[in-house]
Chains A and B, each alone.
Chain A
Amino acid sequence: MYLEEVEFINWRNLEKVELSFPEKTLVLAGDNAQGKTNFLEALFLLARGTSPRRAKDEEMIRWGEEFSYLRAQIREENLHFTREVVIKKEGKKEWKRDGKRETRRTSLPLVGYFPQDREIVEGPPQKRRDFLDEVISFIYPSYNQWLREYEKLLSRRNFLLRERSSGEFVEIYGENLINCGTKVVETRIRYLHRFVPCFQSFYQELSGEDVSLQVFYRPLGYRWEEGVEEGLRRAKKRVREEEKERGVTLFGPHRDEIVLLLRDREARNFASQGEKKRLAISLRLAETSMVESFYRKEVVILVDDVFSELDKKRRALLWQKIKNGSQVFLTTTEEEEVKELRGSSPLSFFRIEGGRIEKGE
């Protein structure tokens, strides 16, 4: 995929942006809080349909305005099309493709590297589940519908438990929760198997040392090797009394953990700050290569201020990995850090200040 030109109106602090991208690498330099991340967020939303920060629609609209509008002219292989979205304070986003209303969209191959990705490594288990769920949904759309169905079943079962409904009634939803949960867990494990080798080798390269890095899917209350459906059933039986007492579902994929073990210790608690950064970047690199191989298409890459977290050697390494993306958007506070990469491929430079973007040299 290649973004040929974009137009943003009333998007966060960007009042009006109109840019075309003849060069495949774009660097956006500027101080903090000038709108660099907002710019990338708009590109992400256009391609993937959601905000990488999970922002609400009304937060995306420029202060005091009623709506926000984004448009991109996109090229995919030999196909050109426009994608537009109108975000309103109330009601759903309105999407258009080539000027026609679009109700069902596919995600376009674009991956973003953000500073807050470190939370995937060091945050609570939900961050890692969400990361994996997003990666899988991106390349396997049915998975997303299963997740939504699972959430519906879960909210009903929790409601019944909270209301102290009859055991039989809770049981009906428990059974369907297991059926749907089995699909979710089995899919997670299947994709994790393909994801982990990628992740490991990127980490080795980026860290420059041969350390042991392992990833485990750790379901709550059973071992998946014994069979997921059976396991969920056993886990459910085990927590039965406690669920009645606490009035909430205590087993299932919404409580499972994905453990990153670095040197046989949980990275979440024991990895250093530098290691956490590199782990987070490696997760995104592995995501990128999954997307590449599943879509058999080139991926657009967004890198939000991630370079400044790395030393010179690792910056060069990361650059080697991502510069082959069909298009790369980098933001930075330190122009010099990025300029040193210039040798290898042409970059177009832009500066952003107070939401206004101007061409740099």
Chain B
Amino acid sequence: MAESYPEALSRLISAFSRLPGIGPKTAQRLAFYLVKSPSLEVEELLSSLQEVKEKIHFCSVCGFYTEEDRCKICENPQRDRSVVCVVERPQDVLAIEKTGFRGLYHVLQGIISPLSGIGPEKIKIKELLERVSQGEIKEVILAISPSVDGEATALYLAQKLSSFPVLVTLIARGLPSGGDLEFADEVTLQEALEGRRRISLKPRKEE
């Protein structure tokens, strides 16, 4: 019988290959690299893994990453507490942050997806409704990707939120900025047309 790697090494390889985006080949490469690495480097990796597992969890209010009970965004008194932006995953929060949005967030931890057995009860919809029912929130922005399941999620949320006195908005669909009209596909262009808005001109200064 052909020999395989010693047990400890095989275990490490199979642990790596369970990670998302890592196939068997990459898993092996990572394992061999760690075997050769100086102990200090491995210890550093080990301790940061441990720390992440011990300290990082989801904010009890919005679901973003935090080391405390509530995340820095929820705790920040400068934030506009009347607007909540609903996103699918915690990493989407940072994407929206870069736009300069300064309201609060709500992370759904997924979207409705019947083919993978994810129903509305499996994502953080109940929690959102609870937050809204407290009355401080005036607008809910749905920033969910425009896929078939994303749209279903948005529609479901809109229906659920309709019993509260809040404004529910959906992010626009259409052309990317810097995009060329000529290269846009028809559906995107059509959505851009449907979502067109009036150009508001600033009143000219009196001379």
Bound-state CA distance A243–B99 (Å) is 45
B119 touches A166 (CB 8 A): yes
A172 touches B186 (CB 8 A): no
Is A234 on the interface with B (CB-CB < 8 A)? Answer: no
A152 touches B190 (CB 8 A): no
Bound-state CA distance A146–B148 (Å) is 11
Is A209 on the interface with B (CB-CB < 8 A)? Answer: no
A175 touches B155 (CB 8 A): yes
Bound-state CA distance A81–B30 (Å) is 48
A176 touches B190 (CB 8 A): no
- Most A C-beta atoms less than 10 A away, residue of B114, B119, B156, B187: B114
B190 touches A156 (CB 8 A): no
* Beta-carbon nearest neighbor of B148 in chain A: A152
Chain A positions 40 through 79: 1 when the CB is less than 8 Å from some CB of chain B, otherwise 0 = 0000000000000000000000000000000000000000
Is A159 on the interface with B (CB-CB < 8 A)? Answer: yes
B115 touches A141 (CB 8 A): no
Bound-state CA distance A152–B119 (Å) is 17
Enumerate B78-123 residues with CB–CB distance to A below 8 Å. Answer: 112, 114-115, 119-120
Enumerate B119-148 residues with CB–CB distance to A below 8 Å. Answer: 119-120, 148
Decide: A145 near B187, CB < 8 A? Known: A156-B115, A159-B115, A175-B155: yes
Is B15 on the interface with A (CB-CB < 8 A)? Answer: no
Residues on the A chain within 8 Å of B186, using CB: 141-142, 145
Q: Which one of B115, B119, B155 contacts A176 once the chains associate, using CB atoms below 8 Å?
A: B155
Is A104 on the interface with B (CB-CB < 8 A)? Answer: yes
Residues on the B chain within 8 Å of A157, using CB: 114
Is B185 on the interface with A (CB-CB < 8 A)? Answer: yes
Q: Which one of A104, A145, A173 contacts B152 once the chains associate, using CB atoms below 8 Å?
A: A173
Residues on the B chain within 8 Å of A146, using CB: 187
Number of A-B contacts (CB under 8 A): 47
Enumerate A153-190 residues with CB–CB distance to B below 8 Å. Answer: 153, 155-157, 159-160, 163, 165-166, 168-169, 172-173, 175-176
Prevailing SS type, chain B contact patch: helix
B190 touches A172 (CB 8 A): no
Enumerate B181-197 residues with CB–CB distance to A below 8 Å. Answer: 185-187, 190
Is A149 on the interface with B (CB-CB < 8 A)? Answer: yes
* Beta-carbon nearest neighbor of A152 in chain B: B148
Residues on the A chain within 8 Å of B152, using CB: 153, 156, 172-173, 176
A142 touches B114 (CB 8 A): no
Residues on the B chain within 8 Å of A169, using CB: 112, 114, 119-120
Decide: A156 near B114, CB < 8 A? Known: A149-B148, A172-B155: yes
B149 touches A142 (CB 8 A): no
A176 touches B151 (CB 8 A): yes
B114 touches A160 (CB 8 A): yes
Interface size class of B (residues with CB under 8 A): 10 to 19
Residues on the B chain within 8 Å of A160, using CB: 114
Residues on the A chain within 8 Å of B120, using CB: 168-169, 172
Q: Which one of B114, B119, B149, B185 contacts A104 once the chains associate, using CB atoms below 8 Å?
A: B185
Chain B positions 146 through 168: 1 when the CB is less than 8 Å from some CB of chain A, otherwise 0 = 00110111011001000000000
Bound-state CA distance A4–B149 (Å) is 46
Residues on the A chain within 8 Å of B156, using CB: 172
A156 touches B148 (CB 8 A): yes
Bound-state CA distance A175–B158 (Å) is 12
Bound-state CA distance A172–B115 (Å) is 14
Bound-state CA distance A358–B162 (Å) is 71
Residues on the A chain within 8 Å of B187, using CB: 142, 145-146
Bound-state CA distance A152–B147 (Å) is 10
Bound-state CA distance A168–B156 (Å) is 9
Residues on the A chain within 8 Å of B115, using CB: 155-156, 159
* Beta-carbon nearest neighbor of A160 in chain B: B114
B148 touches A172 (CB 8 A): no
Bound-state CA distance A156–B159 (Å) is 19
B149 touches A156 (CB 8 A): yes
Bound-state CA distance A142–B185 (Å) is 8
Residues on the B chain within 8 Å of A159, using CB: 114-115
Residues on the A chain within 8 Å of B190, using CB: 142
Bound-state CA distance A163–B120 (Å) is 15
Name A residues whose Cβ lies closer than 8 Å to a Cβ of B: 104, 141-142, 145-146, 149, 152-153, 155-157, 159-160, 163, 165-166, 168-169, 172-173, 175-176
| 8 CB-based A-B contacts, threshold 8 Å | A141-B185, A142-B186, A145-B187, A152-B148, A165-B119, A172-B112, A172-B159, A176-B152
Q: Which 8 A-B pairs have the closest CB atoms?
A: A142-B186, A152-B148, A145-B187, A172-B156, A156-B114, A172-B152, A141-B186, A160-B114
Beyond the given A149-B148, A156-B152, please list 20 additional residue pairs across the A-B interface where CB-CB is below 8 A.
Answer: A141-B186, A142-B187, A142-B190, A145-B185, A145-B186, A145-B187, A152-B148, A153-B148, A153-B152, A155-B115, A156-B115, A156-B148, A159-B114, A169-B114, A172-B112, A172-B153, A172-B156, A173-B152, A176-B148, A176-B152
Name B residues whose Cβ lies closer than 8 Å to a Cβ of A: 112, 114-115, 119-120, 148-149, 151-153, 155-156, 159, 185-187, 190
